[in-house]
Amino acid sequence: MRCSVHKFPSFRFASLGMVPTTLALLAFSTFLPYATAQAEDLNIYSARHYDTDLDLYENFTDSTGININLIEGNSDELIARIVNEGENSPADLLITVDGGRLWRAVEKDIFQPVSAPELDERIPAHLRHPDGLWYGLSKRARVIVYNKETGLPEGLNSYEDLANENLKGKVCIRSSSNIYNISLMAGLIEHLGEEKAETWAKGVVANFARPPQGNDRSQIRAVAAGECQVAVVNTYYVGRMLGSKDEDERAQAEKIDILFPNQDTTGTHVNISGAGVLKYAPHKEAALAFLTYLTNETAQHLLSEGNNEYPIVPAFAARGPIAEFGTFKEDNLNTSVLGLNQAKAVMVYDRAGWK
């Protein structure tokens, strides 16, 4: 049967207490060699809070007999908890969003290297850690959105073009402290160098339509309302608004269009949801089985159609509202670099006066 929050209220909680969950459905075979013969538990700490993930958990449990115990929380809270628990931590797997946060976890030395032929074959090298400390599970593209009525501004094809003088007073974007923007800047530093990236940031600051504020949905609403002509957002949020049950939210999303930047150069910046097996995982094989399961076709389609994310596996096409955006060339910079350049990115934003 299909699990629901009503039937299994323990899936949703405010605290960081361990909550056991027993899940059900479907059957898969490619990840079974990594599961133990007897039923056991898998303890997941997750910074993802989506109903789609509950379907993933129940499918996996039915296929393997492995019960999932789930803790949900803020990424930094979960990482700190794992560090504090040390060798006594019950956690097997950390799931989080954004390569920058995965890098923070690596810096805290909480992952252990793992490998499996299926993971290495299915996940492109730039979307997994070089030493197997974490693996990407799904993707989001950071794109430029513009108001359909006013149209795409002349000469706008890339992130770099957001600093063009003809966009003065027309750009909306989130705060420089936002992890998505930190990762975007980290990628630009790698491609352009720190000096040119700072010049770009100063140019974008000069083009702000308003001080940085709000989340990605706020930027979309501002473009739809004509408060600004362009904004930088993740495709995930556009897809969610287009598929919303709220008529006003859908109407706002329908007033904007998408540009995938840098198609003639480095490709569009992408970021990931990812997971790593923890250093003292008591159920390492079960964790590896779950990671492998998440890259199969059924799981990848659930992530895409149910949560407006791009499959991490190139062989699988996007589903749901984001499928209408079409295909695009993505930046193949290794996601680890987004963490390695994180400190530089923050300093560049500060020097540029990007609040």
| Ranges of each domain in the chain | 9-139+271-317, 140-269+328-352
The β-bridge relationship of strands 230-234 and 41-46 is unpaired
Alpha-carbon gap, residue 110 to 103, rounded angstroms: 11
State residue 11's pLDDT score.
Answer: 32
pLDDT, tens digit (0-9, with 9 covering 90-100), for 94-122: 999 988 899 999 999 999 999 999 999 99
Topology (CATH level 3) of domain 9-139+271-317: D-Maltodextrin-Binding Protein; domain 2 (3.40.190)
- Give the residue-averaged pLDDT of 76-81: 96
Rounded to the nearest 10 degrees, the angle between the axes of helix 235-242 and helix 216-224 is 60
pTM recorded for the entire structure = 0.86
Tell me the chain's radius of gyration from C-alpha atoms.
20
Q: Tell me the residue ranges of DSSP E strands in the chain.
A: 19-21, 41-46, 67-72, 93-97, 135-147, 171-172, 230-234, 256-259, 270-277, 310-311
Q: Is 93 exposed, middle or buried (0-12, 13-18, 19+ CB in 10 A)?
A: buried
Question: Is the pLDDT reported for residue 341 higher than 80?
Answer: yes
Q: Which has the closest alpha carbon to 162: 150, 149, 146, 177? A: 146
- Give the residue-averaged pLDDT of 64-86: 96
Alpha-carbon gap, residue 336 to 342, rounded angstroms: 10
- What is the CATH superfamily name and number for domain 140-269+328-352? Periplasmic binding protein-like II (3.40.190.10)
